[in-house]
Amino acid sequence: MASTSFWMDIDIAPDAGVLDGVRECDVAVVGSGIAGISTAYELCKRGKSVFVIDRGRICGGMTSRTSAHLAPLCDDLVSEMAKIRGKEATTLFCDSQAAAVDRIEEIQKKEKIDCDFRRLDGYLFQGQGMPADIIDEELEAVRGVGAPVHRLMGVPFSGCENRHVLRYPKQATFHPLKYLAGVVKACRENGVTFYRDSPVEEVTEENVIVTVKTARGVIRARHAVVATNSSISDRFAIHTKTAPYRTYVITFEIERGALPDALYWDTEDPYHYVRLQPGPANTDYVLVGGEDHKSGEADDAQDRFRKLEAWARGLISGLGKETHRWSGQVLDTIDYSGFIGRDPGSTNVYIAMGDSGQGLTHGVAGAMLNAGLISGEDHPWKEIYAPGRVPLKAAKNFMAENVTALKSFAEYVAPGELTSLEALTRGEGGIIRRGLEKIAAYRDNDGALHLNSASCTHVGCHLHWNSFETCWDCPCHGSIFDVNGQPINAPAIGSLARVQE
């Protein structure tokens, strides 16, 4: 993927090897984002032997594209979650997310990890032209789940002095890759082995032994945890309950003290979010994100960055030069909480997927839950995150999100975006029809063509070009492929079929 996030200058475990041959352990963890690494940590501290395996570099996936808010309330509003899940489940959810932040704080202290962790306030403020009753409804819902909240007027942005605001104490933030580098170090000291550049081709279970296969190696384990952002162990059912969204982040310099250190987000749709990161000398960095859209349904990143910059410069005084811009993908679930626990139909395979915009806290809460279940504990969170749950009150969300798949398959009968390969300029990708076949075509900067099937290898949805990240996005379930047709984000495992010129 082409863009570079603020965090990516840290390469975690670059010396990790490629899985080769047959290995055995207690638990195989597939995926090395915050969910996988945190799971390995919780398990090795319980005395389990653990292998962590990833298709690319360690922590090189979506965790490295976060904005790193540690906000323990529902990202889609507590009031909305309560309508679908009810007060009891929503309370448990918020408690679990708060426990995840507590666990991060505990681990960085115990392992002496210098990762800029700090507790601070979070502010939900009334968006431009948005009604104030959203704030009223949310205040009542947050009080109902027992979380601390205070109502006030105004945030320290230009023209926002009279906006209705909720202040949430005991939020947090940190540098996610500094933190995970420290956690990986602690894992290695407790016997965990990491394998990079080892794409998993299959996860199977037979006679209570789980087998994880790659092109060059095999891991046999008593348990496996699939923590791949979107599960590769389930082919279809669970993916109908999630939807991928692309989100954008841009970073600016600012003089230290010009903006109070806090988390900020508004009630617009799509909403905007802001946080600070300490910089050198008297400088901080302001991270501004938003402009979300369904993955694959737009290819206008530069327009979205322009809107983000205009929004930020219009509200935040003293913004300096831009330093980074990137995008990431979040996997929303139809009832706002992830799918974590034993994979339905399996005995010893567990999953952790569906971040709903809260990937960091979901990853840590999921690690706590799955490690407990593997260790035979009866965990109080297992029902609210149960992968097999059928949230009947979320039927409206289910129908709305799954229209994408129907639209995607219908695209196969539509004309291609290009009339011929000659129309494709250098550095550009597009879809061309050849008879009954749709081709995902890319011409690199040297003029060479890269031609692959436009059919996602997960369940066959129609791919879309992402010019900013130079990749192919699947709008149905979030798979991403590079220009050579190699999968770089789950749930797809197989490469795109090559097409001759």
pLDDT digits (tens, 9 = 90+) for 377-403: 999 999 999 998 887 665 565 555 555
CATH class of 414-489: mainly beta
Provide the 10 A C-beta neighbour count for residue 216. 11
Distance of CA 405 to CAs 204, 230, 296, 437, 475, Å? 27, 16, 12, 18, 8
Residue 407 has pLDDT above 70, yes or no: no
Strand partners, 461: none
What's residue 1's pLDDT?
A: 45
How many CA atoms within 13 Å lie on the side-chain side of 82?
18
Q: What's the mean pLDDT when you consider all of the chain? A: 93
CA–CA distance, 126 with 410 (Å, rounded to integer): 39
Q: Is the pTM of this model over 0.85?
A: yes
Q: Between 3 and 109, where is the model more confident?
A: 109
| Residue 145 predicted with pLDDT over 50 | yes
- Banded pLDDT at 411 (limits 50, 70, 90): low
Q: What pLDDT was estimated at residue 418?
A: 83
Pull the structure tokens for residue 98. Answer: 């708060």
- What is the percent of the chain where pLDDT is above 90? 84
What number is the average pLDDT over the span 207-224?
96
Instruction: Give CA–CA dist 404/393, Å, rounded.
Output: 20
Q: What number is the average pLDDT over the span 444-463?
A: 94
Q: pLDDT by residue (tens digit) across 280-333?
A: 999 999 999 999 999 999 999 999 999 999 999 999 999 999 999 999 999 998
437, HSE (Cβ side, Cα atoms, 13 Å): 12
Domain range summary for the chain, segments of one domain joined by +: 21-66+177-240+336-398, 115-172+242-333, 414-489
Q: Calculate mean pLDDT across residues 244-250.
A: 96
Half-sphere exposure of 31 (CA within 13 A, CB side): 32
- The pLDDT value recorded for residue 431 is 93
Assigned CATH for 21-66+177-240+336-398: 3.50.50.60
Q: Residue 414's pLDDT is what?
A: 64
Nearest-angstrom CA–CA distance, 452 and 467: 16
The 10s digit of each residue's pLDDT in 6-52 is: 999 999 999 999 999 999 999 999 999 999 999 999 999 999 999 99
What is the per-residue pLDDT for 3? 87
pLDDT bin (cut points 50, 70, 90) of residue 501 is: confident
Given pLDDT bands bounded at 50, 70 and 90, which one contains residue 83? very high
The answer, yes or no, to whether residue 232 has pLDDT greater than 90, is no
> Are the CB atoms for 351 and 225 separated by under 8 Å?
yes
Confidence of residue 417 (pLDDT cuts 50, 70, 90): confident
Judge whether residue 491 has pLDDT over 80. yes
- Pick 115-172+242-333's CATH classification: 3.40.50.150, 3.90.420.10, 1.10.240.10, 3.30.9.10: 3.30.9.10
Tokens for 59, please give them.
């922590």
Share of the chain above pLDDT 70, in %: 94
Residue 260: asked if its preceding bond is cis (omega within 30°), the reply is no
- Per the DSSP assignment, residues forming a β-bridge with 17 are 195
Distance of CA 494 to the CA centre of its chain: 21
CA 471-477-480 angle, to 5 degrees, is: 15
What is the Cα–Cα distance from 405 to 417, expressed in whole angstroms? 19
